[in-house]
Structure 1
Amino acid sequence: MIKAALFDLDGTLLNRDQSVKRFIDSQYERLNKQVGHIPKEKYMKRFIELDKRGYVWKDKVYQQLVVEFNIVNISWEDLLQDYISEFKNNCVPFTNLTEMLEELKRKNILLGMITNGYGQFQMDNIRALGIEDYFDVILVSDWEGIKKPDPQIFKRALKKLNVSPHQSLFVGDHPENDVKAAQNVGMKGIWKKDFQWNNVEADFIVDDLMEIAIIIENLNKQIIESC
């Protein structure tokens, strides 16, 4: 029986692409006196390019922006601090996020989250989405000292939930760090579709988060019928 569902955050529960666009638009308007000499579209486009969908931390991004755009009225450190303090105010959830979590809780499925990133920053975003209380376990790589795809972070989460790998599934948008890494420890790996990859090998592929509840229901039904 599937007793636990674990999730990645960015690109899986949090629509990071849309959140970044909202944030950088609001930062440009908020700090217009300092960065207004740059066309907004150019500023947003370059930030998104340098950010590489979150895989480059923003100290490097802002250092590069300051040089490229000759930003002199505000330091890269202050721009970074603005990102840290304000990003949470621009978080966009994927469709049916809360509805999916409610449904899984109704079915008594344990919920976990494993996310790479900085501890407080990620927790701020989780709280901004209003989903912290749904989860029985939340592991952030910064605080754990290990990160996906290291199998130990998956095993740690499963131990805290007191479930075995074959009783669990993991949902994420990254084919290696999420799907393959979860499968490597014996969990079912579900890929949350992302335009960046094609032909991803996963146990299941979903477009909408509500599909997770259906997958669990069908898996458990199959197990019951085979007994």
Structure 2
Amino acid sequence: MTFNIINKKSFIEIPKAIIFDTDNTLYPYKPSHKVALKAAINKASKILSISESEFKKAYLISREEVKYRLGEVASSHSRLLYFQRAIEILGLQSQILLSLDLEQTYWRTFLQNSELFPNVIELLKILKKQNIKTAIVTDLTAQIQFRKIIYFGLEDYFDYIVTSEESGKDKPFQNSFELVLKKLDIEANKCWMIGDSFNSDMVGSNKLGIVSIHKKERSHFFKKEVSYVDAEFSEFKSLQDFFISNIF
């Protein structure tokens, strides 16, 4: 898919800043998660002498419990809390060392099996060369999101980062978007938001007047989506080409 502009009025000029989501936007999340969760479950089943399916069932119940109890905040994504509660659900009390071990196993395996989408670095280099500010707005806790950015070697390409741990609420609540605009010190309509989630990234940013660009796999919109999306693309190469043709 090429860089498909839907709202032409939003692209009369080059942005002053571009805000990026992280998970499933800069890299594919699902493959990394699948391998990481399997590694953690495998370890748990061996240590606890139970089947993998039994632990996975407890983990999934735990995940729903934690999310329901905490609501849409950063800690609701905590693998540490998921593993802690899963062990408790199995009737084995709070095994702190094992919970920490499983969390570390999960994230270590996750990172080892993660890689950026093609042309992310190339695009960021163009933005840096053109003095276009860059920022990340992402859900989850700061430590693991910082680790991801460092693991990918992106720490020098972004001017600011805002996590939902810092802002207090997950997207699409406007806390994170308002905070990143304050850090950037740029008007909303001079900024672009690039993300994969229609509800979290597109609706959340567009309601503040930020130009919303949907990174997606499918090549069509439902009618209700159009009003919240200014452009769409599936490969960063198309976005890179757009900047090359409009800047150089």
Q: TM-score, normalised by structure 1?
A: 0.75
Structure 2: give runs of 5+ residues left out of the alignment: 1-13, 65-73
Between 1 and 2, higher relative CO (CA 8 Å, sep ≥ 6) is seen in 2
In structure 2, what is the equivalent of residue 58 of structure 1?
79
How much has 1:28 moved relative to structure 2? Answer: 4.2
In structure 2, what is the equivalent of residue 189 of structure 1?
212
Query: For residues 216 and 203 of structure 1, what CA distance do their matches in structure 2 show?
Result: 16
Equivalent of residue 101 in structure 1, options 104, 111, 124: 124
Equivalent of residue 174 in structure 2, options 151, 159, 167: 151
In structure 1, what is the equivalent of residue 6 of structure 2?
none
CA distances 1:97-126 after superposition (whole Å, capped 9, x unpaired)? 323322332333211001111121221222
Is the 8 Å Cα contact of residues 189 and 209 (structure 2) preserved in structure 1?
A: yes
Identity, % of aligned positions: 23
Q: CA RMSD in A?
A: 3.5
Structure 1: give runs of 5+ residues left out of the alignment: 222-227
CA distances 1:19-56 after superposition (whole Å, capped 9, x unpaired)? 212212333455563156424x786688579758x975
Query: For residues 214 and 48 of structure 1, what CA distance do their matches in structure 2 show?
Result: 42
In structure 1, what is the equivalent of residue 139 of structure 2?
116
How much has 1:215 moved relative to structure 2? Answer: 4.1
Is the 8 Å Cα contact of residues 137 and 162 (structure 2) preserved in structure 1?
A: yes
Task: Summarize the Cα distance change of 1:45–1:168 in structure 2 as closer, same or farther, 3 Å threshold.
Answer: farther
Equivalent of residue 232 in structure 2, options 205, 218, 227: 205
Is the 8 Å Cα contact of residues 88 and 128 (structure 1) preserved in structure 2?
A: no
In structure 1, what is the equivalent of residue 27 of structure 2?
14
How much has 1:8 moved relative to structure 2? Answer: 0.9
The number of equivalent residue pairs is 216
How much has 1:134 moved relative to structure 2? Answer: 0.9
